[in-house]
């Protein structure tokens, strides 16, 4: 799949694309990343890409014209039929929050054009004309969309075949349908005792059924404590087992 990133700071992506386990996806071409700087499509000696906002106020606004010319170059390079254009994604507080389901869809798609905004924002006329999807990382503001773009790329890249050491390891990630959308359980490694605290006995038993039962219990309890909304989603979808419900409400079903 191919991702084209429109960013005023393409240099930010060089270390990201060459580091960590997900670099395999970029090096192999499983996830192709192309960087585009709208300043290369700006006019005048100063290659201006921003200007003061109409109505006054602080900061600057990214101009529509350089962005449109940049996008036209991206579309030409991708060579897609008009009816099959990859979506233009803008990282914005207005967007739906990025979650596992959207990452899964992206991981099995053809890619997208990712627009990284800067300054006070982007001329709304460009957004109205060209943007297909808006995505947010959460209820906070970043200096630009580059970090959000990296987050999406990383999440998508690690789902590609052969990228992780264990092909099935991402199935045990938090939010994965394989875990019924629950949070992952705690993990332990050597030494067996560290600063007086030992590893839970179930994990040392060698009994696979007991180990999996312990992990399920921990997923349910951790999710109930930290993200009760995910418990309600799993319950509504019929994914909680009777043992899960009893764990969450030990007195349920007891009678005098």
| Residues involved in catalysis | 93, 120, 158, 173
Three-state SS string over the chain comes to CEEEEECCCHHHHHHHHCCCCCHHHHHHCCCEEEEECHHHHCCCCCCCCEECCCCCCCCCEECHHHHHHHHHHHHHHHCCCHHHCCCEEEEEEEEEECCHHHHHHHHCCCEEEEECCECCCECHHHHHHHCCEEEECCCCCCCECHHHHHHHHHHHHCCCCCCCCCCCHHHHCCCCHHHCCCCCCCCCCCCCEECCEECCHHHHCCCHHHHHHHHHHHHHHHHHHHCHHHHHHHHHCCCCCHHHHHHHCCCCCCCC
Beta bridge partners, 112, equal 3
Cβ atoms within 10 Å of 111's Cβ, excluding its own: 18
Residue 221 to residue 223: CA distance in whole angstroms: 5
**Long-range interactions of 204-210: CB distance < 8 A, separation 24+:** none
């Amino acid at each position: 799949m191919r991702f084209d990133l429109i960013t005023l700071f393409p240099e930010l992506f060089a270390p990201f694309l060459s580091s960590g386990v997900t670099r395999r996806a970029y090096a192999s071409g499983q996830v192709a990343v192309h960087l585009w700087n709208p300043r290369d499509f700006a006019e005048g000696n100063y290659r201006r890409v921003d200007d003061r906002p109409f109505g006054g106020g602080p900061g600057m606004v990214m101009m529509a014209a350089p962005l449109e010319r940049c996008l036209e170059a991206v579309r030409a390079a991708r060579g897609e039929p008009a009816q099959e254009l990859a979506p233009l994604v803008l990282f914005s507080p207005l967007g739906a929050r990025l979650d596992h389901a959207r990452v899964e869809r992206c991981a099995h798609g053809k890619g997208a054009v990712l627009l990284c905004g800067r300054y006070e924002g982007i001329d709304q006329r460009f957004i109205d004309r060209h943007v297909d999807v808006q995505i947010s990382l959460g209820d906070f503001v970043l200096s630009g969309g580059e970090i959000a773009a990296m987050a999406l790329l990383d999440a998508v890249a690690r789902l590609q075949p052969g990228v992780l050491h264990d092909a099935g390891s991402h199935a045990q990630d938090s939010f994965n349908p394989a875990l019924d959308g629950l949070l992952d359980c705690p993990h332990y490694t050597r030494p067996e005792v560290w600063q007086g605290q030992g590893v839970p006995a179930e994990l040392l038993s060698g009994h696979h059924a007991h180990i999996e039962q312990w992990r399920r219990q921990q997923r349910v309890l951790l999710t109930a404590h930290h993200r009760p909304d995910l418990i309600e989603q799993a319950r509504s979808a019929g994914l909680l087992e009777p043992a899960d419900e009893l764990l969450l409400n030990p007195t349920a079903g007891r009678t005098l």
